């Protein structure tokens, strides 16, 4: 039962233990642990209350936060507050407990000058940093307009409970959504996290004013193996993406990439083009392709010097990729995109191969749209298309691909390649997209297997992706049903899950 709940809901050990104890009506006594940790956590908790209440009192700070677009709900959810120009945090803490100078300094909220303990943060908007368990372990302070002292953003120093390299802003708030969606979005700053959260994107986190670390990615890996890096499009952002790709690849994660161009950051994009942000997260691009495409955009790879620059970048990226199958996939991309050849470590054997060779060279790490594109390409180059055998659009996620299938199915009988081409060409949007698919079709097919058989194989793969998504959706619903102790619905969903598992087994 313990393992079942842990695996179905993707919980860690303590969370699973707490959930099962709650379901059984058992109270678990919390171990107080290290008294220093507990005292500092208490100080941070009280400081969060103080800053939160001070924000309500200060009209200038409240207006600034509102002008930044933060809603009352977000302010409450993230515990956003304000450290006033003349902070009284020390007095506030004194009304609750008598904390020693040692604990006050260890909290990171105070400094000692000439023997006097003073507040570290003043005239700053305060963002509490929570641990994965929800405890406030530190703060990020954003300078107010007119305050010229110190950096724009100031984080708590290293303390017994807070280590920047191990933590991410939003990690507690995002953990459930990351599990549910099976992907984490990593952006550059806390304000981007909050803005995204307000727009319904809740699987998002950010490093704490420093470069992304291996420890932070390991924390994400405990929730999902998929990570979308959404950094700025400036030089620093591009360098950060390359570094993030290498760290993620060394951990055998699946890195994807996007940026807010032409906007300065995620916050601005969400304000002006929310749908574009959603599209970038849903139709995400592999980070390897994203980096390579950006690098060679202004390069003439026919020149030996620029070809060598591209090769050096590619080699540095490939060196970090520990999974041999993924590395071979990237090497294939290099050959196709930049005509740069690298020796593969191991020639992978496709389970669909027969004695004459492989059937289809599908990408190993793919988004749903990759197989959809392959299927549409195969349709477009087929001598004849039997409408009755065309895949159901329910297995497709791209609205454009669904539009093509619907257009095809409105016809009757059998369409020749010429008829299909004329049909697609009537729609200017579809024409531009699928001309490119036809142009690249020779890279995804083999003459050793009939096109009709390749279509069947590709359709089966799309079905597998569809039912795997259904499988994840049902698992999420089971977790929700158990959360509200809806045993009837939970059992019903388990039956559906078993049926989906059966279908997937047959598709394999």
Three-class SS string for 155-176?
ECCCCCCCCHHHCCECHHHHHH
Q: How far is CA 80 from the centre of its chain?
A: 24
CB 108 within 8 A of CB 162: yes
What pLDDT, on the 0 to 100 scale, is given for residue 382? 79
Query: Which one is predicted more confidently, 488 or 190?
Result: 190
* C-alpha gyration radius of the chain: 27
Q: What DSSP character marks residue 31?
A: P
Residues forming beta bridges with residue 252, ordered by sequence position: none
Residue 187 φ/ψ, nearest 5 degrees: -115, -170
Q: What is the pLDDT of residues 236-253, one digit of tens each?
A: 889 999 999 999 999 999
Q: Which residues contact 318 (CB under 8 A, 6 or more apart)?
A: 327, 330, 331, 342
pLDDT greater than 90 at residue 9? no
Q: Which residues contact 241 (CB under 8 A, 6 or more apart)?
A: 229, 231, 257, 287, 290, 291
pLDDT greater than 60 at residue 433? yes
Residue 396 φ/ψ, nearest 5 degrees: -110, 145
Tell me which residue of 318, 332, 434 sits closest to 380, measured CA to CA.
434
**Helix or strand run (H / E) with residue 124:** strand 124-130
Task: Report the alpha-carbon distance of residue 271 to residue 230 in Å, rounded.
Answer: 16
Percent of the chain with pLDDT over 70: 80
Mean pLDDT of 312-332: 91
What pLDDT, on the 0 to 100 scale, is given for residue 358? 40
pTM given for the model: 0.62
Q: What is the pLDDT of residues 199-250, one digit of tens each?
A: 999 999 999 877 899 999 999 999 999 999 999 888 888 999 999 999 999 9
Task: Report the alpha-carbon distance of residue 287 to residue 267 in Å, rounded.
Answer: 22
What pLDDT, on the 0 to 100 scale, is given for residue 478? 67
Q: Could you list the beta-strand ranges (E) of 136-235.
A: 136-143, 153-155, 184-186, 204-205, 226-231
Q: Which residues contact 87 (CB under 8 A, 6 or more apart)?
A: 54, 119, 121, 122
- Checking 412-420 for CB contacts under 8 A at 24+ apart, the result is 412/387, 413/387, 414/384, 414/385, 414/386, 414/387, 415/384, 415/385, 415/387, 416/383, 416/384, 416/385, 417/380, 417/381, 417/382, 417/383, 417/384, 417/385, 420/379, 420/380, 420/382, 420/385
Query: Which one is predicted more confidently, 376 or 180?
Result: 180
What pLDDT, on the 0 to 100 scale, is given for residue 426? 77
If DSSP codes are grouped into helix, strand and coil, which group holds residue 110? Answer: strand
Query: Which one is predicted more confidently, 350 or 309?
Result: 309
What pLDDT, on the 0 to 100 scale, is given for residue 350? 45
Mean pLDDT of 53-57: 95
pLDDT greater than 80 at residue 368? no
What pLDDT, on the 0 to 100 scale, is given for residue 20? 60
Mean pLDDT of 82-87: 94
**Ordered structural domains, the chain, with CATH:** 1-31 (no CATH), 35-162 (3.90.980.10), 163-348 (3.40.1360.10), 349-508 (no CATH)
What pLDDT, on the 0 to 100 scale, is given for residue 43? 96
pLDDT greater than 90 at residue 405? no
If DSSP codes are grouped into helix, strand and coil, which group holds residue 502? Answer: helix
What pLDDT, on the 0 to 100 scale, is given for residue 16? 54
pLDDT greater than 60 at residue 76? yes
CB 317 within 8 A of CB 297: no
**pLDDT averaged over the chain?**
81
Residue 254 φ/ψ, nearest 5 degrees: -105, 100
Percent of the chain with pLDDT over 90: 39
């Amino acid at each position: 039962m313990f393992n079942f709940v842990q695996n179905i809901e993707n919980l860690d050990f303590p969370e699973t233990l707490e959930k099962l104890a709650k379901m059984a009506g058992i109270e678990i006594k919390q171990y107080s642990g290290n008294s220093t940790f507990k005292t500092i956590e208490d100080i941070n908790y009280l400081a969060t209350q103080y800053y939160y209440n001070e924000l309500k009192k200060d009209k200038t700070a409240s207006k600034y936060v509102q002008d930044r677009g933060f809603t009352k709900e977000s302010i409450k959810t993230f515990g956003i507050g304000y450290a006033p120009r003349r902070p009284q945090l020390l007095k506030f803490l004194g009304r609750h407990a008598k904390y020693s100078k040692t604990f006050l300094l260890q909290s990171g909220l105070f400094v000692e000058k000439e023997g006097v303990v003073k507040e570290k943060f003043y005239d700053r908007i305060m963002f509490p940093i929570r641990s994965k368990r929800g405890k406030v372990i530190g703060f990020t302070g954003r300078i107010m307009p007119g305050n010229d002292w110190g950096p724009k953003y100031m984080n708590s120093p290293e303390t017994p409970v807070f280590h920047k390299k191990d933590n991410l802003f939003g990690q507690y708030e995002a953990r459930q959504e990351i599990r549910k969606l099976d992907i984490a979005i990593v952006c550059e700053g806390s304000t981007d996290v909050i803005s995204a959260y307000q727009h319904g994107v809740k699987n998002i986190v950010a490093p704490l004013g420093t470069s992304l670390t291996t420890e932070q990615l390991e924390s994400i890996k405990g929730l999902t193996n998929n990570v979308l890096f959404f950094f700025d499009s400036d030089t620093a952002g591009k360098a950060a993406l390359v570094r993030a790709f290498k760290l993620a690849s060394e951990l055998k994660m699946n890195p994807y990439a996007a940026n807010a161009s032409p906007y300065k950051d995620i916050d601005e994009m969400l304000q002006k083009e929310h749908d574009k942000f959603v599209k970038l997260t849903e139709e995400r691009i592999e980070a390897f392709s994203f980096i390579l495409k950006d690098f060679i955009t202004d390069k003439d790879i026919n020149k030996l010097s620029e070809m060598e620059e591209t090769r050096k970048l590619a080699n540095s990226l490939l060196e970090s990729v520990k999974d041999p199958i993924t590395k071979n996939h990237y090497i294939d991309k290099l050959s196709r995109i930049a005509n740069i050849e690298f020796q593969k470590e191991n020639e992978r054997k496709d389970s669909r191969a027969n004695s004459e060779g492989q059937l289809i060279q599908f990408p190993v790490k793919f988004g749903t749209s990759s197989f959809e594109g392959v299927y549409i390409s195969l349709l477009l180059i087929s001598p004849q298309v039997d409408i009755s055998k065309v895949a159901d659009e329910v297995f497709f996620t791209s609205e454009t691909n669904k539009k093509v299938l619907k257009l095809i199915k409105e016809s009757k009988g059998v369409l020749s390649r010429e008829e299909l081409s004329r049909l697609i060409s009537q729609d200017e949007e579809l024409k531009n997209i699928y001309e490119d698919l036809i142009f690249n079709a020779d890279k995804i097919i083999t003459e050793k297997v009939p096109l009709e058989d390749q279509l069947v194989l590709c359709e089966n793969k799309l079905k597998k992706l569809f039912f795997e998504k259904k499988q994840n959706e049902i698992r999420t619903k089971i977790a929700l049903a158990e959360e509200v102790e809806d045993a009837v619905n939970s059992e019903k969903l388990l039956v559906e899950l078993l049926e989906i598992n059966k279908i997937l087994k047959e598709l394999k």
